[in-house]
Structure 1
Amino acid sequence: MTGELGMPNRWPRGRWAWVAGLGVAALLVLTVMDLSQHYYVSLGAVLALAMARALSLGLAWLRPRAALVVSLATTAITAAVTTPVSTDEPWPWGTTAAFGQSFVLAIVGARGLGRRELVGWWAATQVVGLVATVLAPDRGGWAGLVAMAVMSAIAVVVGDLIHSRSETNRQLAKQENISRTERAERSRLQERARIARELHDVVAHHLSVVVVRADSAPHRLPDMRDDVRAEFADIADAARASLTEMRQVLRLLREPVEHPPLGELGPQPGLDQVAELVASTRRAGADVRLEAEVPTGLDPAVELTAYRVVQEALSNAVRHAPGSVVRVDVQRVGDALEVKVTNGMAREAVPAGQESGHGLVGMRERVALVEGTVNAGPTPEGGYLVAVSIPIGTEVASGDHGAGG
């Protein structure tokens, strides 16, 4: 809990807790000895005043301003009920009273009491001694007031210096944390830029080559059948679409925003394009079947995630289970969008080098961003099932879809 000075109201910790406890106990014992030996006062009053003096020191960590009030009140009461046994004894500021008040001032100052207020309490300390001396000049002298003024002033300066040093250390630690965060952010952006360069230089280049070769194939091979020409045209269109999405990914990687909203960089595919995705995969030779009508008009982020899930699952099925029947089922079930992609047992040998990848890892990360779940694993028939459940957010008008995702 934050205290009245903007610092936690708590007892010191670690070894300082022992130091504080011993200090309070020592002040209690020394006050009893001081009052009982050097002043005329009853034993009950000695014990009460000693406990009040120790209490003021203990409150300095828990209730700073209350500690100052208790300390000054204890001094005033002590001056009123005690009489020195000789003129050599300090009064109204006895030895333990002077040290107790000075320690309280130093601790409160170290905890962050403002300088003006701290000076005000120092002045109040002098006023208490001055009033007591004026009211009972026969019990003490002005020398004791001067000594207390100097001692309490030193306490004020020490407390303020300790607070200033602590505040400086806190600011340095804060700046170091900011610098560490900035260095980590700079490293992250540099790594994203490096990945973007690699994607541009390698993947985008090869996709461009595919587009050029597919487009030029009918001109380079004039005796090509019409169905082959259509196949090359589909390959070129698919490669161009991949290039477009690749450029969006590259812009995303270079964007210095912590979490850009999905779709911020331009139109993204949604559920209304799942049928076309299935059809294009079927044209590539795979036996893909769309089991039900795909819902639309959902949150763009949900639709984009579902589309990417179907895209990755189809890609995995085609690579790892060639020749099998692949079933795609995208339905709304209650407050969730259920996506299931199931393939049967592979009827052809898996080409070398296609046995593993990172598709499922990326799929899980993407679905987790929209608080969805992914379950993937073999089926009893020897095939493979990818099942994804995504909570549905606010629906949007179908005419607004495609502006984001």
Structure 2
Amino acid sequence: MKRQLPTPVRAAARWSGDQLTDLGRALLTPVEGRAPLLFGAERAWVRWLPYLLAFAATATLLPTGTVVLAHDYGLAVAVAGALALVQSVPLLVAVTRPLIAWWVMTAGVVLGAALTANTPTGAGPWPWPVPTLLAYVFLMPALALRERGRTLLAVWLVTLFGSIAASDLHQARAGESAAVVVALSGTVLLLGWSVRGRGQAQKLLAEQEQISEAERERSTLLEERARIARELHDVVAHHMSVITVQADSAPYRITGLPPEAVEEFGTIAAAARSSLSEMRRLLGVLRSEGAAADRAPQPGLEQLGRLVETVGRAGVQAELTVTPEVAGLGELPQAVGLSVYRIVQEALANVVRHAPGARAEVRLTAVGRTLLVRVENSPGGRPGVEGAEGTGHGLVGMRERVRLLSGRLETGATPAGGFLVAAELPVNSVGESPR
């Protein structure tokens, strides 16, 4: 009857076997992708740097290794050249396939150790001649920057146990080169793995920042659209209320209406009241949780003078100019008047925040049926004031309001160092459907 090992020992042995299996699989599975090292660099010379370094190392180690192996270790020149070729040329392959290059170089190291094992003790370090040692250490950064951490651990363990085994087999011939290779390869692999991990973390952080910025912009846009919709609710509700009152009072104001007309007016009034109720529900959805209803009337062009005076108390000398062409447009739709007020308000709030002490000019004019709004300020003379009163999100809100009216908005710095906001708003006559 066989004696079974204790459960903890069996578990430890099974775990060790699994880990060795994983390490062996890691040595046989390179990272997917064949892109060369540093292929994502912005500058061209950085992308070519791995090739240049690999070529320089190969061009140096190939003839040096041939001479050392032939002169110091007594190998035939042809054999020494072939061995140096196998030990140095993999550096060129390492730019795109470092794990395959490691396998080829490892085979060359083992073959070189076997061919030089019987050389005299004073011939040179064994099992790692200096050119072989340098080629092997030069390969480590390519592995560290491309392969997984488990693969790097397996490579270092193979280097460690291979060096120990070679030293045990030829104790009289072995020297300190094995310890040097184990220490240098481990250090380079660890440093390279750390650098790669830091680079990957920075890349992920940059990607997350881009995603967060995009989400913030989307959230700002949606919030601004909801705020504009809440303001326009008052405008639409006013017109619906007028329709309801006129439809309800029509049978009393107009005599001699047939019963069909009275019934039609009643249907119109009922539909208008139902629409008002639905709009109130919509407003409840758009309003932020806990936000109080704003019962103040929505502003328009008539309030622009008071707005300019308020900004003047904040340290910005503003001047309002309304040309006679604006009066020629007649009564403006409430949505247009509200949008003009909000655009001017946001533009002046930005002046207070970013250019206090500046002079600002607000100019309203008209060309045909298009209302032109222009807010221009000079450079500021003092540091900005945080928290200047605005109603939305600056340029985002302006663009949404202009887009709502099928207009056009231009913003940007002026040659004098100030800032310009220019909006073109098509104006339809009151009661005219937008085109």
**TM-score band (shorter)?**
0.5 to 0.7
Alignment-mate amino acid for residue 27 of structure 1: A
Measured at CA, do residues 206 and 353 of structure 1 come closer, stay the same or move farther in structure 2, by a change above 3 Å? closer
Q: Using the alignment, how far apart are the partners of 2:190 and 2:434 within structure 1?
A: 67
Which residue, out of 132, 142, 163, partners 1:129? Answer: 163
Aligned-pair distance for 1:187?
Answer: 0.7
The aligned counterpart of 1:225 is: 257
Partner SS, residue 87 of structure 1: helix
Q: Using the alignment, how far apart are the partners of 1:139 and 1:125 within structure 2?
A: 18
Measured at CA, do residues 23 and 245 of structure 1 come closer, stay the same or move farther in structure 2, by a change above 3 Å? same
Measured at CA, do residues 7 and 171 of structure 1 come closer, stay the same or move farther in structure 2, by a change above 3 Å? farther
The aligned counterpart of 2:50 is: 20
Alignment-mate amino acid for residue 22 of structure 1: L
TM-score norm. by structure 1 comes to: 0.55
Matching of residues 208-287 of structure 1 within 5 Å: 208-219=241-252, 221=253, 223-226=255-258, 228-237=261-270, 239-240=272-273, 243=276
| Offset from partner CA, 1:236-277 (integer Å, 9 cap, x none) | 35535654775687688679xxxxxxxxxxxxxxxxxxxxxx
The aligned counterpart of 1:357 is: 434
Aligned-pair distance for 1:155?
Answer: 1.0
| Offset from partner CA, 1:44-70 (integer Å, 9 cap, x none) | 333333333344333434334323222
Asked if the contact 2:65–2:132 (Cα under 8 Å) also holds between the matched residues in 1, the reply is no
The aligned counterpart of 2:36 is: 11
Which residue, out of 196, 199, 204, partners 1:163? Answer: 196
| Offset from partner CA, 1:306-348 (integer Å, 9 cap, x none) | xxxxxxxxxxxxxxxxxxxxxxxxxxxxxxxxxxxxxxxxxxx
Which residue, out of 207, 219, 223, partners 1:174? Answer: 207
Matching of residues 5-404 of structure 1 within 5 Å: 8-12=33-37, 13=39, 14-39=44-69, 40-82=74-116, 87=122, 89-114=124-149, 116-141=150-175, 143-219=176-252, 221=253, 223-226=255-258, 228-237=261-270, 239-240=272-273, 243=276, 357-358=434-435
Aligned-pair distance for 1:228?
Answer: 4.6
For structure 1, the 5+ residue unaligned runs are: 256-350, 359-405
Q: Using the alignment, how far apart are the partners of 2:120 and 2:46 within structure 1?
A: 37
Alignment-mate amino acid for residue 156 of structure 1: L
Asked if the contact 2:54–2:95 (Cα under 8 Å) also holds between the matched residues in 1, the reply is no
Aligned-pair distance for 1:11?
Answer: 1.4
Measured at CA, do residues 216 and 167 of structure 1 come closer, stay the same or move farther in structure 2, by a change above 3 Å? same
Task: Give the count of matched residue pairs.
Answer: 259
Asked if the contact 2:251–2:257 (Cα under 8 Å) also holds between the matched residues in 1, the reply is no
Asked if the contact 2:90–2:102 (Cα under 8 Å) also holds between the matched residues in 1, the reply is yes
Asked if the contact 2:61–2:135 (Cα under 8 Å) also holds between the matched residues in 1, the reply is no
Asked if the contact 2:65–2:81 (Cα under 8 Å) also holds between the matched residues in 1, the reply is no
Identity, in percent, stands at: 33
Aligned-pair distance for 1:120?
Answer: 2.5
Asked if the contact 2:99–2:147 (Cα under 8 Å) also holds between the matched residues in 1, the reply is no
Asked if the contact 1:129–1:145 (Cα under 8 Å) also holds between the matched residues in 2, the reply is yes
Asked if the contact 1:32–1:46 (Cα under 8 Å) also holds between the matched residues in 2, the reply is no
Asked if the contact 2:62–2:81 (Cα under 8 Å) also holds between the matched residues in 1, the reply is yes
| Offset from partner CA, 1:110-161 (integer Å, 9 cap, x none) | 22412x44223112112222333333445441x1112112111211211111
Partner SS, residue 90 of structure 1: coil
Q: Using the alignment, how far apart are the partners of 2:239 and 2:46 within structure 1?
A: 67
